[in-house]
């Protein structure tokens, strides 16, 4: 699994031109499920995201999204496993097929719900979505559970 995190001041999610919700300060998480993604990595990935110290605290130290009472927005993103090795058209052969990826995506959301009590806005798997966000920093990170980095 790959998670691309963006620290935001605000983010709004729209599906079929209807607002799905918004968060203020927090993280937008684009989650990609690959063919080799292991559902056993879900706890590690969820905990890692929630513990990352990406936000400035009033005392000058840094804190997590939990400590700052921020929000999370999670969007499925199969393109995180794209290959651009050949030509100019990305290949998505490393992405898990939808029937395999969706259950893992839902398990990840379920795990987040058990660990996180703040605002959580989620996308619809496979839907065309529009995300408006205001990057903060900008701070953007890629986490790959296979490499634990």
How would you label 101-114 residue by residue, b for 16+ Cβ within 10 Å and e otherwise? beebbeebbebbee
Q: Which residue of the set 18, 79, 88, 116 is catalytic?
A: 79
Active site residue 107: no
Q: How far is CA 60 from the centre of its chain?
A: 26
Q: Which residue of the set 25, 77, 99, 124 is catalytic?
A: 77
Active site residue 78: yes
- CA distance linking residue 126 with residue 106, whole number of Å: 12
CA Rg, the chain, in Å?
A: 15
Active site residue 69: no
Tokens, residue 21: 């919700």
Q: Which residue of the set 6, 55, 68, 78 is catalytic?
A: 78
> Catalytic residue positions?
77-79
């Amino acid at each position: 699994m790959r998670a691309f995190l963006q620290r935001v001041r605000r983010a709004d999610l729209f599906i079929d031109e209807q607002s799905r919700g918004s968060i203020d300060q927090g993280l937008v998480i684009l989650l990609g499920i690959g063919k080799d993604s292991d559902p056993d990595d879900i706890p590690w990935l969820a905990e890692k995201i929630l513990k990352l110290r990406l936000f400035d605290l009033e005392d000058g130290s840094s804190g997590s999204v939990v400590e700052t009472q921020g929000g999370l927005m999670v969007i499925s993103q199969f393109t995180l496993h794209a290959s651009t090795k050949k030509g100019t058209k990305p290949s998505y052969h490393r992405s898990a097929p939808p029937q395999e990826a969706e259950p893992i995506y839902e398990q990840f959301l379920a795990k987040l719900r058990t660990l996180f009590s703040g605002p959580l806005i989620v996308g619809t798997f496979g839907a065309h979505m529009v995300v408006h966000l205001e990057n903060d920093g900008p701070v953007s990170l890629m986490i790959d559970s296979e490499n634990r980095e």
